[in-house]
Amino acid sequence: MSPDLSAALTGLLGTDSVVNCGMIVPNNLHLPLATLLRDRGYTCYVTVCASHWPAQPALKGAPATEEHFEVATVLRDPTRRDAAHPDGSQTFSWRVSLAPGEAIASLTSLFAGADWQEREQYDLVGVHFAGHPDLRRLMMDEDWPGHPLRRDYAIDTPHAPWR
């Protein structure tokens, strides 16, 4: 990460510890952060990964956690990174934590490639992307009950045979 970009991210997020991969960003800063990164060269949309975290009781000193979802986004700067041109990682990723039922802003207005990836995460994990033009299921049937990639969806959940 160049010092220039690092300063811009610090200004936007209001924190000194800007870490690539794994940094948690408030939901309202998700779209501004993606816009800033796209304008600074991260023009290639890579992936979005939603995950479900069920409620956990307090265990071995770790505090109890509420049920929540996490959405990780990865963008890529398609300029060269190797030993001769070192500028950190080519990819930049961050996470957004969501309460159940809370929606995250869709990145389809910035990257057309987000369309199907976000549909897939909506289908399999059940995270809503606000502002998506066509939020339908991608993999499962339109009348499929539940979202299979939630942790509380048993792998042997019975379902009606396909017609």
Partner 1 sequence: MTFSCLQPPPLPDPHIDLDAYEAGADLMVLNLGPQHPSTHGVFRIKLVLDGEIIVKAVSYPGYLHRGVEKLFEKLTYAQVTPIVDKNDYLSPMINEQAINMVFEAGLGIEVPRRARWMRTIIAELQRIASHLVAIGTFVLDVGGAIGGGASVFMYTFRERELILDIFEELTGARFHYNTHQVGGQRHDVPLGWDVKIRAAMDSIEKSMDLYDTLTSKNGIFRGRSLGVGVLGRDLALQLGLNGPVGRASGIDLDLRRDAPYHLYGELDVQVPVLTEGDCLARFRMRALEVRESIRLIRILLEDVPEGPIAALKPSKGPTAVKLKDGQWYVGVESPRGELGHYLIASAGANKGMSPYRLKIRPPSLHLVSLVPWLLPGNSLSDAIAILGSLDPVMGEVDR
Query: In the numeric block, which tokens belong to residue 10?
Result: 């610090």
Query: In the numeric block, which tokens belong to residue 123?
Result: 């289908």
- Bridge-partner residues for 59, per DSSP? 62
Query: Distance between CA atoms of 103 and 134, rounded to whole angstroms?
Result: 15
Query: Distance between CA atoms of 154 and 6, rounded to whole angstroms?
Result: 42
Query: Distance between CA atoms of 125 and 48, rounded to whole angstroms?
Result: 12
The helix (run of H) or strand (run of E) holding residue 119 is: helix 114-125
Minimum gap (Å) between residue 111 Cβ and partner 1: 6
Subset of 58-97 contacting partner 1 (CB under 8 A): 70, 72, 74, 76, 78-83, 89-91, 93, 95
- For residues 98 to 127, the per-residue mask of contacts with partner 1, x marking binding by CB under 8 A and - elsewhere, is -------------xxx-xxx--x---x---
Minimum gap (Å) between residue 76 Cβ and partner 1: 8
Instruction: Verify binding: residue 51, partner 1, rule CB under 8 A.
Output: yes
Query: In the numeric block, which tokens belong to residue 140?
Result: 């499962």
Nearer to partner 1, 11 or 59 (CB): 59
Report the interface residues with partner 1, using CB under 8 A.
21-22, 43-47, 49, 51, 56, 70, 72, 74, 76, 78-83, 89-91, 93, 95, 111-113, 115-117, 120, 124, 133-134, 137-140, 148-149, 151, 153, 155
